[in-house]
Amino acid sequence: MAKKFLFVNRKAPYGTIYALESLEVVLISAAFEQEVSLVFMDDGVYELTRGQKTDGIGMKNFSPTYSALGDYEIKNIYIEKESLDARGLTLDDLQHLVWEDEDDDWAEKDSIHLISSKELAAVMDNQEVVITF
């Protein structure tokens, strides 16, 4: 029986390694056929911003990897609206992540779900394993 795994991202990218290494865990989790969800809240929402150019800081830009999540059937990506609002961001500032639904003639669908804190509470309540970084 697949377990419901939730990976929680609350930290900004590059200042620490958590964003990058958490993504590595999420990609590995795809091989285990569990019900995987991701949540980005607080500074975690910054992990998904478009236009990350890292040449100046000499670090690898790993943000393109997020677009691969759909290929691994990881499509339950929750973003807390309150966190975005507090930071003056909208979904347009973030990458547009999609997945292709095999059961719907490979129709492209949004992986990102913008939800309120209250809705997020319900999502989190429903999980079985929570992994934080």
Partner 1 sequence: MSTLHTINKSPFDRNSLGSCLRVISDSDAILLIEDGIYAATSGTIFSDVVKAAVQSHSVYVLGPDLSARGMKEGGIVEGVNVVDYEGFVDLVAEYDKTNSWL
Partner 2 sequence: MKLAIQINEGPYQHQASDSAYQFTRAALAKGHEIFRVFLYHDGVNNATRLAVPPQDDRNITQQWTKLQKEHDLDLVVCIAAAQRRGLLDEDEARRQGKDANNIAEGFRISGLGQLIEAGIEADRLVVFGD
Residues that bind partner 2 (CB under 8 A): 3, 5, 17-18, 21, 24-25, 28-29, 31-32, 34, 129-133
Q: Is 102 exposed, middle or buried (0-12, 13-18, 19+ CB in 10 A)?
A: exposed
3-state secondary structure (DSSP) of residue 50: coil
Task: Name which of residues 66 to 95 contact partner 1 (CB under 8 A).
Answer: 80, 82
Q: How far is the CB of 47 from partner 1 (least distance, A)?
A: 15
DSSP calls for 23-42? HHHHHHHGGGT-EEEEEE-G
Residue 5 binds what, of partner 2, partner 1, none (CB under 5 to 8 Å, by partner type)?
partner 2
Q: How far is the CB of 7 from partner 1 (least distance, A)?
A: 12
DSSP label of 94: B
Residue 24 binds what, of partner 1, partner 2, none (CB under 5 to 8 Å, by partner type)?
partner 2
- Residue placing its CB nearer to partner 1 in the complex, 28 or 86: 86
Helix residue ranges per DSSP H, 30-116: 81-86
Cβ(45)–Cβ(79) below 8 Å: yes
State the CB neighbour count (10 A cutoff) for residue 90: 11
- Residue placing its CB nearer to partner 2 in the complex, 31 or 57: 31
Residues in the interface with partner 1 (CB under 8 A) total: 19
Q: Residue numbers of the site for partner 1 (CB under 8 A)? A: 8, 10, 41-42, 80, 82, 117, 120-122, 124-130, 132-133
